[in-house]
Amino acid sequence: MSEFLKVVILSFVEGITEFLPVSSTGHLILVNEFVKLEPEAFSNAFNVIIQLGAIFAVISQYFYKLNPWDLGKISFNKDMAGYERMTSKEKISFRLKNFHKPTMRLWIKVVIGFLPAMVLGLIFDDIIDKYLFSPKVVAGALIFWGIVIIIIEKRKNRKVLAKNLGDLSPSQALKIGFFQCLAMIPGTSRSAATIIGGLTAGTSRTVAAEFSFFLAIPTMLGATTLKIIKLGTSFSQSQWLLIFLGAILSYLVAAVVIKTFMKYIKSHDFVVFGIYRIIVGILVFIFIH
């Protein structure tokens, strides 16, 4: 199989699974049993760096909601004509002083949710890489958290305290952040962990999913940066081109998946993802034995 075709397959796997509660890392570990780039150092770096494409898919699709300095959300003290007559320096100063407070509060909650993973990730990253990256661990995590998702969704009279992102409290954000740390175990899924955390903290499905997307931005940027530092970046020009291609493909695929996923959960629960995880986990156990 050509390196180009391998890149396409791996990028599609990353883009499809990154924001679904099915574990992108787990799927990449499993797919790498059959489709793997060479040498190993390049393969490991590729799998990490192409996640940046998926991150930018979130940023591009939710840029308006995430941008506290968007002119459409700022209450002007001057009319638009007055703003247009400002110099570039005056415009920058105006935007910095006049920001959308609800959006800024959302970012504060994202930072609060990111802190647990930042601290624990730095402490346990090497241990996890050494002992937990294996198909058996992935399969076990897929099955276990698949069952947890189904149990949570089948629970009756679940209280929804946060029906929109503005209702999400800092304490709920922190709880979701601690749940995100469970995703350090391959096969758990960062999306699954944060969505489970959101549901147990009392958020709606859409709030749990969207906050999971936003929490991915600092978490994945931090994790990717840490991995790049450890793995290095001394690759050939052709290898960098393959990485760039992989990031672009993962961006395009993830953008489609995010839109489809959000439409789906507005009228469906997460049970189908729990069932999928269990089936895949069982197949992996059968295969490796």
Tens digits of per-residue pLDDT, 170-188?
999 999 999 999 999 989 9
Average pLDDT, the chain: 89
Q: Which of 77-81, 131-135, 171-175, 271-275 is predicted with the least confidence, judged by mean pLDDT?
A: 77-81
pTM above 0.85, yes or no: yes
The answer to whether residue 286 scores a pLDDT higher than 60 is yes
Q: 270 and 200 in contact (C-beta within 8 Å)?
A: no
Residue 79 confidence (pLDDT)? 54
Residue 197 confidence (pLDDT)? 96
DSSP SS3 for 162: strand
Residue 99 confidence (pLDDT)? 82
Q: Which of 99, 128, 106 lies closest to 218, judged by CA? A: 106
Give the tens place of pLDDT for each residue, 241-262: 999 999 999 999 999 999 999 9
Mean pLDDT across 118-139: 85
Share of the chain above pLDDT 70, in %: 97
Give the tens place of pLDDT for each residue, 60-90: 999 999 999 887 777 655 556 677 778 888 8
In the structure, what pLDDT confidence band is assigned to residue 289 with cuts at 50, 70 and 90?
Answer: low
